[in-house]
Structure 1
Amino acid sequence: MFSNGLTCNLPFCMNIRDSGSDELLPTKTNREPVLLNVYDMYKINEFTSNIGLGVFHSGVEIYGTEYAYGGHQYSFTGIFENIPRDENELGEQFKFRQTIHIGYTDFTEEDVKRIINELGKEFRGNRYHLMNNNCNHFSGAFCKILCGNDIPPWINRLAYFSSWVPFLERCLPKEWLMPMALQHSISCRRDSTCSEGSTTPL
């Protein structure tokens, strides 16, 4: 159960509701692949390589859009959209590593948008924490809702060993934890004059 009361009965989330609508249920008509795109955060890895841990960013690709999570100072969602596998849109500290097929979902594209809106209440920008609530925690939660499968544990291994490096997050520049696509999304949210075709804030 998430802190906002959202619960999920695998393999499908059965109680996400949209205001004024019926209960959201999978349609059983789509078999859309759920893909996990993994990126090396190689600048952070310079800090963690001495203890044998890699630091990775991940995003979930579905219906041609990649959804990921990052930190910022505001109380609204830290979930953002970007072009799948586009490391340049994320920033220079990110390097695409691989795509992992997690499973298939029966949720429609519209259902996915509604799920993202609900997850945004839990994964807010100011709740981001490198060890306890990071992009990989989001990817795992999202994948479980979509298809009942978690992400591979090695992707978020650093979070399991957070007691080894409690100082790490304080040592990192904030921009390393805020991908460029998220920065643009925040700017769009604060400035209604964003140009057509730019990254859509969630």
Structure 2
Amino acid sequence: MGEAGEEVVLYVYDLTGGMAKTLGQTLLQKNIEGIWHTAIIVFGKEYFFGSNGISICDPGTTALGNPLRTHSLGKTCLPEDVFQEYLRGLEQDTYSADKYNLLRHNCNNFSNEISQFLCGNSIPSYILDLPNEILNTPFGQQLAPILELFSNSIGIHPGVRRSGSDFESLNNDIDSARKQSALLEEKRNKLNEKLEKREKRKKKKKDKNKHLSDQFCIDSEPSSSRKYCDNRKKMSENGTNGVNNGVDRPATVIAENDAEDLERKELELKRKERDPPIVFPDTINVQNELERLVGLIDGRINPDDMQYVAELDQYMLENEGSWALGEGFLSFVGRLLNDDQLVSEVRETILNILAAGALKDDIILVLHQDRREHILMNYANGFDKLPLLEQLALTLFVSILRLRISRPRVSKISHRCRLTIFRCAICSRTAVHPNGFYTYPNGSLVLVR
């Protein structure tokens, strides 16, 4: 993928092969161009949704042949592994084979959702509006009950099912191995070049000092001194230790000292890179924030939800551990973040509390609850529309989360949560630096230390 991003293209197929233009006026009393099937082309593959679930193939190799038309949807800067993880989540949840519906949940809805995820753009409206246009005609209204009855069993499947293709899985593994091998080869070449340059510098310094020493002997001393220099030269060529025989070898000593200095500087640089960022854990007064939250939501939410505030109190103030938070805790957070009836201070306060909680080692176990609904990611997706104080609170929360997952001792469970944190960072336009966190709310640069 280049610096400008990966191109995202929409392929549009006419399932009727042009017959819709001929029969549309006769049956529907309405001119229609075609019955559309769409697919997304990205990272060199074609992705679409059908009655057998999410499928993948090489572009233009389905039973439908070449597309009738194409639309450029934009470019994405998301890595391919993030996109594949996102597809796996859709395949297990909203776009599994049993969720297919010819009218309401079809290939075009899938293409639209993928397009919005990759580049923030929707597919053309004439594709999405086609089912309603047909159903609003007299013939469509008569046909609607029949289509609704069989909409889950009638479907389009012009390719190979994504999850069931051993051949495709093998190809993906081969591509991954090739990429890994190329990366290793590149690192090996860089290391060899570095070693060669170091040896050349050492040899150059050694030859230079040797030449200066010999030239000094020739120009400044009589024949007796020249004999001494000749003997010294022979001793150097034979590998004799000059110190033990009263003769010093400055070139070798200088080269060794330079090599030691270089290695010492490299070790010092690596040590500095390993130093963790500076953290101020007492910036947020958790007790005051909890009291403020209770005052803002008391009487304005379902009384049953107040139990989650008590659980949050146990987790934050009594250090009970992540087990104190029930399974519905993140759903409760989602209701606070998305309830338009609550004031903005509620969202700012809960985000500040979560930011303080993100400093705890077991925050990853809490995030594990969000692996399906993506509550935090969906909220962060509207970052530009949030008030400034909510933007700053969300930025602080995501930045601290990024700090926690960057440590090498993160378990396999946390790997599933990395995508949620990574997507939140993308949606909130937050960039992370080893010595601080940079974000861009309303176009300004902020450093959180």
TM-score tier by shorter-chain length is 0.5 to 0.7
- 2:58 maps to what in 1? 83
CA distance in structure 2 between the partners assigned to 1:134 and 1:45 by the alignment? 21
Distance 1:160 1:82, change over 3 A: same
- 2:156 maps to what in 1? 177
Q: Per-residue CA shift, 1:98-152, capped at 9, x if unaligned?
A: 1110011110111110111122221111111111000000000110011110000
CA distance in structure 1 between the partners assigned to 2:155 and 2:100 by the alignment? 13
Q: How does 1:31-180 map to 2 (within 5 A)?
A: 31-42=5-16, 46=20, 49=24, 50-51=27-28, 52-53=31-32, 54-72=34-52, 78-86=53-61, 89=62, 91=63, 96-120=67-91, 121-161=93-133, 163-164=135-136, 165=140, 166=144, 167-168=146-147, 177-180=156-159
Q: Hey, which of these two has a bigger chunk of helix by percent?
A: 2
Range with bigger deviation, 162-171 or 145-154: 162-171
Distance 1:145 1:197, change over 3 A: closer
CA distance in structure 2 between the partners assigned to 1:176 and 1:199 by the alignment? 27
TM norm structure 1: 0.64
CA radius of gyration, larger in: 2
CA distance in structure 2 between the partners assigned to 1:81 and 1:135 by the alignment? 13
* SS of match in other structure, 2:56: strand
* SS of match in other structure, 1:122: coil
Once the two structures are TM-superposed, the CA of residue 198 in structure 1 deviates from its matched residue by: 7.7
Once the two structures are TM-superposed, the CA of residue 33 in structure 1 deviates from its matched residue by: 1.0
TM norm structure 2: 0.31
Alpha-carbon RMSD across the aligned residues, in angstroms, is: 3.4
Residue identity in the other structure for 1:65: K
Once the two structures are TM-superposed, the CA of residue 181 in structure 1 deviates from its matched residue by: 2.4
CA distance in structure 2 between the partners assigned to 1:48 and 1:59 by the alignment? 25
Q: Is the 8 A contact 2:56 2:159 kept in 1?
A: no
* SS of match in other structure, 2:90: helix
Q: Hey, which of these two has a bigger chunk of strand by percent?
A: 1
Q: Is the 8 A contact 1:131 1:158 kept in 2?
A: no
Q: Is the 8 A contact 1:30 1:108 kept in 2?
A: no
Once the two structures are TM-superposed, the CA of residue 62 in structure 1 deviates from its matched residue by: 0.6
Distance 1:128 1:45, change over 3 A: farther
Residue identity in the other structure for 1:58: T
CA distance in structure 1 between the partners assigned to 2:73 and 2:120 by the alignment? 9
Q: Per-residue CA shift, 1:20-57, capped at 9, x if unaligned?
A: xxxxxxxxx66111110111101696597232332111
Q: Is the 8 A contact 1:68 1:139 kept in 2?
A: yes
Residue identity in the other structure for 1:147: C
- What is the count of residue pairs matched by the alignment? 157
CA distance in structure 2 between the partners assigned to 1:66 and 1:98 by the alignment? 15
CA distance in structure 1 between the partners assigned to 2:13 and 2:117 by the alignment? 22
CA distance in structure 2 between the partners assigned to 1:186 and 1:169 by the alignment? 27
* SS of match in other structure, 2:7: strand
Residue identity in the other structure for 2:128: N
CA distance in structure 1 between the partners assigned to 2:113 and 2:168 by the alignment? 31
Distance 1:129 1:179, change over 3 A: same
By relative contact order (CA 8 Å, sep 6+), the higher-ranking structure is 1
* SS of match in other structure, 1:138: helix
Q: Is the 8 A contact 2:50 2:155 kept in 1?
A: no
Once the two structures are TM-superposed, the CA of residue 84 in structure 1 deviates from its matched residue by: 1.0
Distance 1:163 1:169, change over 3 A: same
Q: Percent of counterpart pairs with the same letter?
A: 25
Distance 1:196 1:148, change over 3 A: closer
Residue identity in the other structure for 1:142: I
Q: Is the 8 A contact 1:30 1:107 kept in 2?
A: no
Residue identity in the other structure for 2:39: G
CA distance in structure 1 between the partners assigned to 2:55 and 2:115 by the alignment? 16
Q: Is the 8 A contact 1:131 1:162 kept in 2?
A: no
